[in-house]
């Protein structure tokens, strides 16, 4: 129970790093949604862009995270502040599940429903906002959920480039060979991931079309 | 008025349609007069559904033109054209996340009708297609196949279009329900006098519902005949159909009297 005593004694810092962590994950997920959902919609409607877009997102995903942080470090505006850089990197990682699920969700809308809608004289934007998005929102959110859970874990590595977050404890603990310090970062991070998973999962079920 | 003297409501003029290397329709000419039900009869791949989709421009012909009420349909504004044509398909395509009421009321709603007028119209339509009023608040997955297709028909009729395109609307229903819906279609048509193009591969249905039957094969129009003439036709394909469907067709063709 040493760990919990340690966390209690340092609760101010744990809280601060948790908030930093949340900020990294929150912004990167938001940006990834702002980019990924429209991109997913575009490739669902224009299948010839589907392969290149999904392949690029896939390739990004295969770059080891530490290496990606390193690659981005020399970029002028980004390199100035570690948190900017971390948010960009996390955004890039979050793209794939969001794009892929948006694509899958929209492609999964019953063709007969789309044909009927089009035949009735719905415009493309009416079809998108009244039919396609409402019917795929839960699939899209399950992509967001995967993205958030990945980000919470990956964001711990952001501490390696000085972006803060719960990874600070983990790296510090590794350097000090002190399990308590490592766990003071790892436990809140794990809880955060569970909480995000549960929260977005709840939203997903709430918005599930009948 | 003699039908030939009036402007046809729908007119296919020398239509050809090809996708990649496949000639789906060629030299297709057909006129549909106001208030009649023309049934496009043919086997799968004969071009029936394609012809239908050319009318509301879900597809565009490779050459030729389609006139709706005398005007080439490419000159009409696409969305307005589609809203003025009811469209019913075999898989119905109800919006699963909308109640029956919202499904039926959607075209009036996007057409800017006031809410209370839509509600009245929905009630009226439900009654017209033989559904109870309380169905209005249900979702499509809570309905039977027959109820769903009734809602599909009501939805197509919502904004009172002059033209109705029906693509095997009763094809997926069990025989009893199909029979019921066919009977109701005839009653409805006696009241509403819509101009209907109806696609089917079922000769019995064609004889029963059609004012005229347009027989199609391999992208060509073989012949256009009234139901009674169809039974006596010397055309090889028409008589092949009659033979394949066997006994009891006379009664289907005598829909007025049976």
| Residue A116 to residue B107, Cβ atoms within 8 A | no
What is the tens place of the pLDDT at every residue in A47-60? 899 999 999 999 99
Pairing of strands B163-167, B195-200: parallel
Q: What is the DSSP secondary-structure string of A25-39?
A: HHHHHHHHHHHHHHH
Provide the 3-class DSSP secondary structure of residue A53. Answer: helix
**pLDDT value at position A79?**
77
Provide the 3-class DSSP secondary structure of residue B16. Answer: strand
> What is the average pLDDT value for chain B, to the nearest integer?
92
Cβ-Cβ contacts under 8 Å, B79 against chain A:
121, 123
Provide the 3-class DSSP secondary structure of residue B44. Answer: coil
B137 touches B103 (CB < 8 A): no
pTM: 0.87
Cα–Cα dist B223/B235, whole Å: 8
**pLDDT value at position B156?**
96
| Mean pLDDT calculated for residue range A134-159 | 95
Cβ-Cβ contacts under 8 Å, B92 against chain A:
112, 116
Q: Which of A137, A143, A154, A118 is nearest to A207 (CA)?
A: A137
DSSP state of A128: I
**Residue whose token pair is 């009023």:** B133
Residue of B96, B141, B167, B168 to mutate when probing chain A, most A C-beta within 10 A:
B96
Tokens of B249: 């067709």
Burial of residue B201 (number of CB atoms within 10 Å: 0-12, 13-18, 19+): middle
Is the pLDDT higher at A14 or at A71? Answer: A14
Pairing of strands B63-68, B10-19: antiparallel
Considering only the beta carbons, identify the residue of A112, A113, A118 that sits closest to B58. Answer: A118
Tokens of A127: 């079809």
What is the tens place of the pLDDT at every residue in A85-122? 999 999 999 999 999 999 999 999 999 999 999 999 99
What is the tens place of the pLDDT at every residue in A10-69? 999 999 999 999 999 999 999 999 999 999 999 999 989 999 999 999 999 899 988 888
What is the tens place of the pLDDT at every residue in B70-116? 999 999 999 999 999 999 999 999 999 999 999 999 999 999 999 99
Residue B1, pLDDT above cutoff 80: no
- Residue B175 sits at the chain A interface (C-beta within 8 Å): no
Considering only the beta carbons, identify the residue of B97, B107, B141 that sits closest to A120. Answer: B107
Q: Where are the beta strands (DSSP E) in A113-207?
A: none
**Residue whose token pair is 């980000």:** A151
How many CA atoms does the CB half-sphere of A195 hold within 13 Å? Answer: 10
Residue B10, pLDDT above cutoff 60: yes
DSSP state of A48: G
Enumerate chain A positions whose Cβ falls within 8 A of a Cβ in B: 110, 112-123, 126, 130-131, 134-135, 209-210
B63 touches B15 (CB < 8 A): yes
Backbone angles phi, psi at A186, to 5 degrees: -70, -40
ipTM of this predicted structure: 0.88
Tokens of B73: 């349909």
| Residue B110 to residue A210, Cβ atoms within 8 A | no
**Residue whose token pair is 């040493």:** A2
């Amino acid at each position: 129970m040493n760990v919990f005593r340690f966390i209690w004694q340092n609760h101010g810092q744990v809280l601060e790093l948790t908030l930093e962590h949340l900020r990294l994950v929150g912004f990167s997920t938001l940006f990834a949604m702002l980019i990924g959902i429209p991109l997913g919609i575009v490739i669902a409607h224009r299948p010839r862009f589907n392969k290149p877009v999904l392949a690029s997102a896939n390739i990004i995903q295969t770059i080891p995270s530490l290496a990606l942080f390193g690659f981005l470090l020399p970029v002028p505006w980004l390199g100035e502040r570690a948190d900017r850089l971390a948010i960009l990197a996390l955004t890039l990682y979050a793209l794939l599940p969001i794009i892929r699920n948006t694509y899958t969700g929209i492609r999964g809308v019953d063709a007969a429903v789309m044909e009927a809608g089009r035949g009735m004289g719905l415009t493309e934007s009416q079809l998108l906002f009244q039919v396609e998005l409402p019917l795929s929102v839960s699939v899209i959110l399950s992509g967001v959920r995967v993205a958030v859970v990945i980000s919470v874990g990956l964001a711990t590595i952001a501490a390696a480039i000085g972006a803060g977050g719960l990874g600070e404890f983990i790296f510090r603990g590794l350097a000090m060979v002190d399990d308590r310090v490592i766990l003071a970062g790892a436990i809140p991070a794990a809880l955060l991931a569970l909480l995000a998973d549960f929260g977005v999962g709840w939203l997903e079920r709430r918005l599930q079309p009948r | 008025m003699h039908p030939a003297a009036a402007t046809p409501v729908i007119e296919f003029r020398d239509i050809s349609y090809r996708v990649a290397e496949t000639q789906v329709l060629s030299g297709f000419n057909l006129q549909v007069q106001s208030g009649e039900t023309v049934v496009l009869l043919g086997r799968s791949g004969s071009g029936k559904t394609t012809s239908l989709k050319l009318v509301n421009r879900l597809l565009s012909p490779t050459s030729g033109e389609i006139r709706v009420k005398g005007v080439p349909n490419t000159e009409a504004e696409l969305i307005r054209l589609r809203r003025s044509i009811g469209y019913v398909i075999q898989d119905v395509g109800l919006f699963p996340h909308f109640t029956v009421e919202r499904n039926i009321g959607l075209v009036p709603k996007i057409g800017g009708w006031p809410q209370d007028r839509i509600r009245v119209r929905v009630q009226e339509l439900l009654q017209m297609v033989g559904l109870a009023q309380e169905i209005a608040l249900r979702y499509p997955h809570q309905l039977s196949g027959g109820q769903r297709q009734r809602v599909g028909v009501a939805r197509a009729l919502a904004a009172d279009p002059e033209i109705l395109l029906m693509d095997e609307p009763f094809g997926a229903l069990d025989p009893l329900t199909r029979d019921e819906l066919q009977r109701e279609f005839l009653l409805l048509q006696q009241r509403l006098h819509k101009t209907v193009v109806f696609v089917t591969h079922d000769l019995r249905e064609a004889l029963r519902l059609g004012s005229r039957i347009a027989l199609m094969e391999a992208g060509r129009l073989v012949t256009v005949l009234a139901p009674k003439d169809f039974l006596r036709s010397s055309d090889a394909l028409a008589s092949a159909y009659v033979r394949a469907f066997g006994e009891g067709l006379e009664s289907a063709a005598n829909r007025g009297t049976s």
